[in-house]
Amino acid sequence: MTSKPTPREAFLDAWTSMASLFSFSPSTARVCGLLLTAADPLCAAEISERLGISRGNVSMCLKELRGWGVVQRVSRPGDRREYFESRGDLFEQTVAIARERKRREFDPVVGSALEALDALAGGAPPAAAGKLRSVADYLATVDRIGREVLDNPPAATALVALLKSGFGAPAQAQGSGKERAPKGTR
């Protein structure tokens, strides 16, 4: 008979299921989720023990999470071990991940995609050229949003604050109780 998972285990399982949104491996997602829910910074040995994964895997996961800007190293006076904690709030982390994904995945290809669309539109019939320009406008707009929001931390912070305030939410959803707040916080 299988025992019911603890609330932390249930959260780690759910967080791991969402890992693909952030391009994280399941182990990296579990380390991230553990640090998000830990009351205090944890050392690699504690992370390894709590998650049941090897220290080497923990080390690789921490390196990746630090590269994404969502985990930071902290020290404890009188202790030579390195400790790690979640960095900033989740909105800041999401913006940091989106910024890094844009830099790694989108920026290297958007210029060549726009050049190719321009060349294709130049020799296409008017209807097809219009469709190609539409795709190019979309890519150029996404690129501009990325530059003006993700590459501009004050703009990203302002946008997150605006969205958290309920701006743009349908009137019937605001205060309707349909928001997904944890039990006991409504």
126 Ramachandran zone, left/alpha/beta (phi>0; psi -120 to 50)? alpha
Q: What are the CA-CA distances from residue 152 to residues 9, 19, 110 (Å)?
A: 36, 25, 19
Q: Given this model, what pLDDT does residue 177 score?
A: 46
106 belongs to a structural domain: yes
153 belongs to a structural domain: yes
Q: Given this model, what pLDDT does residue 157 score?
A: 86
How many structural domains are present in the chain? Answer: 2
Query: What percent of the chain shows pLDDT beyond 90?
Result: 47
Nearest to 32 by CA among 24, 21, 20: 24
pTM over 0.85, yes/no? no
Same domain, 28 and 95: no
Last residue of a domain, one of 71, 86, 101: 86
Cβ-based neighbours of 117, under 8 Å, separated by 6 or more: 132, 133, 135, 136, 139
Region 114-138: mean pLDDT is 92
Q: Is the pLDDT of residue 173 over 80?
A: no
Cα Rg of the chain, angstroms: 21
Higher pLDDT, 1 or 106: 106
Cβ-based neighbours of 75, under 8 Å, separated by 6 or more: 82, 83
Mean pLDDT of the chain: 86
Last residue of a domain, one of 51, 86, 121: 86
Higher pLDDT, 172 or 141: 141
Q: Given this model, what pLDDT does residue 180 score?
A: 53
117 belongs to a structural domain: yes
Region 78-103: mean pLDDT is 87
Q: Is the pLDDT of residue 175 over 70?
A: no
Q: Given this model, what pLDDT does residue 83 score?
A: 97
16-74 pLDDT, tens digit each: 888 877 788 999 999 999 999 999 999 999 999 999 999 999 999 999 999 888 899 99
Residues spanned by the domain of 100: 90-164
Same domain, 119 and 157: yes
Q: Given this model, what pLDDT does residue 172 score?
A: 54
CA-to-CA distance for 159 and 143, rounded, in angstroms? 17
Which residue, chain included where needed, has tokens 């060549």?
112
**What is the amino acid identity at position 46?**
E
Report residue 186's pLDDT band, with 50, 70 and 90 as the boundaries: very low
Same domain, 77 and 94: no
Q: Given this model, what pLDDT does residue 176 score?
A: 47
DSSP code, position 176: S
173 belongs to a structural domain: no
